[in-house]
Amino acid sequence: MKSITSYTSEAFVIQGGKPLKGRVKVSGSKNASLPIIMASLLPREVSIIENVPDLLDTLTAFELIKSLGASVDFQNGVATIDARYLRDYKAPDEMVRRMRASVLVMGPLLAKFGKAVVSMPGGCSIGVRSIDQHLKVFEKGGANIEVKHGYIHLQVDKIKPVEHTFEVITVTGTENALMFLSGCERRSLLRNIALEPEVMDLVDVLKKMGVEIEIEDRTAVIRGSSELKSFKHTVIPDRIEAGTLMVAGFLTGGEVVLENTRVEHLGSVIEKLREAGAQVELLSLNSLRVKRDGDIKPLVISTAEYPGFPTDMQAQFMVLCCLAKGVSEIRENIFENRFQHVAELQRMGANIHVRDRTAIVKGVEKLSGAEVYSTDLRASASLVLAGLVAEGTTTVRDIHHLDRGYEKLEEKLRSLGATIERLPRREG
């Protein structure tokens, strides 16, 4: 398994103006892989996870569970995980700071050991994401919670059944609660849960382990087991990578066929692309074609929990709106600080004004190549998209953000005809 330190480099250099054409295969979902990797700590036998993307975040997740005593073999997208000999229940500070999803070890460790010590995650560049919703479920389940020296210490003797309504819809909160309650043999009830496809993929895994879960609307009924079975599971395709590639094909005036995707997970993205003038042809349940013949039309976008428009696609669609014939409005409802890409797009000639959580985007004739800096994962993707259509050369710095969530993106774009090169780390 490759080491994390050898995986990153720092910049993309992109020559804009080439329509993307061809076929491309979508990788496995990062946001589905991470909770499933954490869930592999629950069984007492070896589990196998297929279609795992080779990313900084998945490698960090493997490093974390290895530090707890699990053994991991990861080759060609297949992870074989043996958690029979876990010896620790502490998630170190450096792991949680590197990847906030590390907090997802809390639920499995409490269910398996009755103990967990996890560093406080704090905020991140796109906004504060509190874990109080996680802790309330643990507390109702009988866990004692203390914060000492920057770490959350959790302990439970026997998990009690829980009836809980989440105050806000939270993806990781739902996932942590489901994994925690998989260790309770009595019936629990969770209301106002997240329904993202990545959550449902975890539900499928827990069912394979022997957990009884029934979901109706936003309510889940869970009955766990004291003897959870090992599992073999294929991770769903990454709907955000798929959406990013769809925007790339349309934005550049090309024609792109996506393979190994799940069309039913892309409803709001497909709808907005069609509103913008894209021709989206559904070839099968797992493939589609995107192309553009005319001008880009302006959009009104408001991010929302699934099945609404995903916050993880907001930055990419903003690039599209930058070149639309008219004025677009984008409202970000999920994270309070997710417009950091705006300043970088303005360096490329975009006309964007932000007030509170709303961006007004006036379309321009063209974007111009510039040196720009990534601030977070999806902002990185938006700057790459902008570079693909900008006049001249664009250099996107700090692409370690992008390496967290897109597997071999430059190779996929090159296979579609893009001129994009990865530069080594710049010293100084």
DSSP state of 263: G
DSSP state of 14: E
Closest-CA residue to 119 (of 90, 98, 139): 90
Closest-CA residue to 376 (of 353, 336, 404): 404
> CA-to-CA distance for 331 and 103, rounded, in angstroms?
28
124 classed as catalytic: yes
Structure tokens at 105: 């070890």
> CA-to-CA distance for 263 and 200, rounded, in angstroms?
15
> CA-to-CA distance for 282 and 292, rounded, in angstroms?
15
Instruction: Judge whether 329 and 363 are in contact, CB under 8 Å.
Output: no
> CA-to-CA distance for 330 and 210, rounded, in angstroms?
43
Please name every residue paired with 393 in a beta bridge, in sequence order, or none if there are none.
15
Instruction: Judge whether 374 and 383 are in contact, CB under 8 Å.
Output: yes
> CA-to-CA distance for 326 and 353, rounded, in angstroms?
14
Of 124, 184, 321, 322, the catalytic one is: 124
- Residues identified as active-site: 124
